[in-house]
Structure 1
Amino acid sequence: MLTKRALMIYNPSSGKKRNHKNFPLIVEKLTDMGYEISIFQLQEDAQELSSLIKRACRQQWEALFVAGGDGTIQNVLQSLSPELYRPKVGVFPFGTSNEFAQVIGLPHNVFKILSIIEKGNTAYVDIGKLGQQYFANIAAAGWLTDITYETPKKLKSYLGEFAYALCFIKKLFQQRSREKIAIQIFPDTYISDLSFFLIMNGNSVGPFEQFIPQTNESDGAFHLVTCNIRNRLHLFTVLLITALRVGNPSSLIKHQKISSSEVHLPENMFVNMDGERKTVLERKFQVLPNHLKVFTVEAE
């Protein structure tokens, strides 16, 4: 069996602790498949991580595996996405929400994911870029969008996505941001007086699943969800319906598909990118179609 070089990026702090018990087995099974695994723990030097990813790309390693959550994947994308050659990406969803794993159709079961990798099933997936930052699932700013990185890690490790729900309820009644956001959708649409915007690749955000219709296809466009300053009560109703799963929230949400736009934010406003707080100086958004090749279930 030919040896295949692969980089494994592991975040031991992601998600619930019980998810990590399978990590040694994952490495063992990948080794049995012929992968020569170099392991990097995310708690180590971030600059070294970037150097390792670039090395794997430039030496054309076979695969790059990520055992972590959406924040771990977002971290990896910053070094991986600019490269001309990008190894196939395998995801072991150890995080709290694991939204990117949902976008690409991965099962939750680690052994099923290992079977997918062993069979070599892959598909291409779109990636988003806002300014010079890359993201796999969401970019958002404004009212309530800081929940994912404001929720304590310890709470997430014990409660999972329910921790986000608790933080959401708390902030809903505390936060009253008056900063206005606008978005220009090329070529000639301009939306102003927004309380927040959400650009998303999938159809779920934290505990709010099936937020909008999803085709699970890489079609070169992301969903744009916006909330006008005057429509916060309406948004709360939609999110409550989504969380309780008592109706069809997608019929109540104003959203559209976009492939490029420019967001106009207050100067000091952060952007939530895949659950991580980012400072974005350039505000142009674009979709990078079929940018990553990922291990996933075989297309029907």
Structure 2
Amino acid sequence: MTKVLLVVNPSSGGEKAKDFQEMAKEKLAQHFEEVIVKHTEKAGDASDFAKEAAKEHYEAVFVMGGDGTVNEGISGLAEEEYRPKFGFFPLGTVNDLARALNMPLDPEEAIQSLDLTKTKSLDIGKINDNYFMNVVAVGTIPQAVNETTVEEKTKLGKFAYAISAFKNLAANQSYNFKVELDGVEKEIESSTVLIGLTNSIGGFEQLLPEAKVSDGLLHFLYLKDSNLLESLQTLPSLLTGVDESNNRVGYHQVKEVKVSIVDSEETLKVNVDGDEGDELPVEVKVLPSHLQVYA
């Protein structure tokens, strides 16, 4: 009997997840013989549910929620020897993976248009002992994302991040980082470092135009700024997309990255798929074509 798990975060999408649950269940029942529905109640539940489904050899695992719930679902499957096919219904503020896969952002449309006969390969990233599907970021802009409240995100969507980022840039904070790109060390001064897996970062879909969901690469981007004027001068490059280094931004395609801060007295936390992550230093690598995803 083919079984699918549907993990629903009832607090996602302005608490509208339950409105779409039955619709999604009916859609999945057209293809799978048994649909099991579980609701998350706390952080880590989606990951635990996905891990359990992998151990029981479910055919597929779907999650319904925002980027954090999608990250948890992927993280739960990442270390398992048998990994079910993965799918999701976007209910978040940004929905970067949905954007990268050209999925409809409207939940009802995403459910109705889902083709359960087709999957595609999906790279995922590993940062220290955790996993991500979209981006690791550190510095001024990511710190702003960490500080953005749920109320701001609900009211302003992805622009809440942009507003917070601009406020933090005005504080004119830059850092001296030591990075290792595929074994090559260098020191950089920057307000913000991004390590992306997909073209969509923070809802801005052309930031990394060369990034594909299954290219087997990390896309390492940093701003070459040490003051507010230089930060503002990087904006045109970011808005039009970065596919090579220039005098405003640095860009490299790599498979492994290590990032630390030169001043050992200073502490700085990364942001992983929109949520606060570990303190520096971190080690990041790509796991090529690690999952099969419905899209």
Matched, 1:79 2:76: yes
- 1:41-97: CA deviations, max 9, x gaps? 232473x54443222111110111111111112223332211111111111111111
Instruction: Return 5+ residue gaps in structure 2 as ranges.
Output: none
1:224 aligns with 2:224: no
Q: Partner of 2:196 in structure 1?
A: 200
Contact 1:5–1:62, Cα closer than 8 Å, also in 2: yes
Match of 1:105 in 2: 102
Could you tell me which residue of structure 1 aligns to residue 285 of structure 2? Answer: 286
Q: Normalising by the residue count of structure 1, what TM-score does the alignment of the two structures yield?
A: 0.84
Q: Deviations over 1:243-287 (max 9, x none)?
A: 6xxxx3437643121111211135631110000101257622211
Which secondary structure state, in structure 2, belongs to the residue aligned with residue 64 of structure 1?
strand
C-alpha offsets along residues 175-227 of structure 1, whole Å, 9 cap, x if unaligned? 34354222111232423333321000122322433113235351210210012
Question: Match of 1:177, SS?
Answer: coil
Pairwise CA RMSD: 2.7
Pick the aligned partner of 1:151 from 123, 140, 148: 148
Aligned partner letter, 1:133: N
CA distance in 2, matches of 1:254, 1:179: 15
Structure 2 CA distance for aligned equivalents of residues 4 and 242 of structure 1: 45
Q: Which has the higher contact order (CA 8 A, sep 6+)?
A: 1
1:28 to 26, 29, 42: 26
For the residue of structure 2 that corresponds to 1:155, the secondary structure is helix
Shift in Å, 1:241: 7.1
Counterpart of 1:250 in structure 2 is 242
In the superposition, relative to structure 1, how do residues 35 and 99 fare at CA in structure 2: closer, same or farther (>3 Å)?
Answer: farther
Alignment of 1:1-300 (within 5 A): 3-16=1-14, 21-44=19-42, 46=44, 49-110=46-107, 113-114=110-111, 117-173=114-170, 175-214=171-210, 216-230=212-226, 233-239=229-235, 248-250=240-242, 253-265=249-261, 268-280=267-279, 283-296=282-295
Q: Which amino acid aligns with 1:289?
A: P
TM-score relative to the length of structure 2: 0.85
Matched AA of 2:188: S
Pick which of 18-27 and 155-164 moved more: 18-27
Query: Are the structure 2 counterparts of residues 215 and 202 from structure 1 closer, same or farther at C-alpha, using a change threshold of 3 Å?
Result: closer
CA distance in 2, matches of 1:167, 1:203: 21
1:137, 1:45 → 2: CA distance? 19
Of residues 109-118 and 267-276 in structure 1, the stretch that sits farther from structure 2 once superposed is 109-118
Structure 1 unmatched ranges of 5 or more: none
